[in-house]
Amino acid sequence: MSIQWFPGHMHATKKAIVERVKGGVDVVIELLDARLPGSSANPLLADLTRGKPALKVLNKQDLADPDRTTAWLDHYNAQPATRAIGLDASIAAPAQRLTEACRALAPLRGGMAKPLRVLICGIPNVGKSTLINTLVGKRAAKTGDEPGITKVEQRIALASDFYLFDTPGMLWPRIAVPESGYNLAASGAVGRNALDEELVALELLRNLRANYPGRVEDRFQLTVPHAEPDEAWLEAIGRRRGAVLGGGRVNLQKAAEILIHEFRQGGLGRITLETPEQFTGWVAAAAERDAERARSKQARKGGRRSPADAEAFEADDDGDA
């Protein structure tokens, strides 16, 4: 199953980013989900803002695996013209950390004559609006637990010479990496009409059982044999939480919603669904699949014959026989 979600307002966001970059932007902040730092990095944004210094902010780090967060910060900080920091709700002065990092990336900007112009972007439901409200100390941006709340660009002054341009959350038209699609869906970045919760929950279970053994058992107090398939584990979760229909059947849809909710709220502990090495491998595999599809398509195109050529081929074939 391929998970895709690119509603109409995201086309408008793409155009707004292009115009903002043309109008002059000194630094681009990309807010990432610390639980899926690679999957929540928008490749379309990278293309639209190419050449601009980038600040990668791993948000919600209090929900993420601290060791994996360190690995991801090292990964991004090793890239040219890029800095990476982690943030969460416990950070007392996020505005100071952000402004200091941005000023370091654009040291020649600052002061009333050359104010620093910063564009902040991120996928839906990554916590951008909540962060902005924290930065300005008031409700400057709408917030909610559904993706796609912010619909228009806003300009916010964090200092007399520091302007922050906020854009709506944006995914990209085609999510080529299947693992990223599932991770984005599990995090809440994808609208519910674009996903199958049962499939997302099963992928999440597979990841958790492989990388965080014992977490699911402890949280739901399960005694399922480890050799049982993920479907049996999801059924056990539903039965444990009372998601049972008539005749004793488990409501798997409800069980999936329960598991996904527990992950999003941190009930399963601090979890990161991917490492830099895993994500790099997923991207390479997806690129190879795309290349193979392109080769197959080209081969099919090359094998087509016009009606006249087909008749000539058949005539030659008959003569040879």
Q: Following DSSP, what letter does each residue of 108-128 receive, concatenated?
A: T--SSSS-EEEEEEE-TTSSH
**Inside any domain, residue 216:** yes
- Judge if 218 and 256 occupy the same domain: yes
Q: What is the model's pLDDT at position 8? A: 54
- Judge if 49 and 107 occupy the same domain: yes
**Inside any domain, residue 137:** yes
The domain boundary, picked from 245, 264, 283, lies at 264
**Would you put residue 117 in left (φ > 0), alpha (ψ -120 to 50) or beta?**
beta
pLDDT band at 47; cut points 50, 70, 90: confident
Task: Domain of residue 129: give its range.
Answer: 8-166
What pLDDT, in 10s, does the model give residues 54-81? Answer: 999 999 999 999 999 999 999 999 999 9
Percent of the chain having pLDDT more than 90?
Answer: 57
**Rounded mean pLDDT of 213-231?**
94
Asked if 169 contacts 147 with a C-beta cutoff of 8 angstroms, the reply is: yes
- Judge if 142 and 243 occupy the same domain: no
What pLDDT, in 10s, does the model give residues 151-199? Answer: 456 788 888 899 999 888 888 778 889 999 999 999 998 877 767 899 9
Q: What is the number of other CB atoms lying within 10 angstroms of the CB of residue 175?
A: 22
User: In sequence order, what are the residues at sequence separation of 6 or more whose Cβ sits closer than 8 angstroms to the Cβ of residue 71?
Assistant: 275, 276
The domain boundary, picked from 244, 264, 284, lies at 264
Q: What is the mean pLDDT of the chain?
A: 86
pTM to 2 decimal places: 0.83
Q: How many domains does the chain have?
A: 2
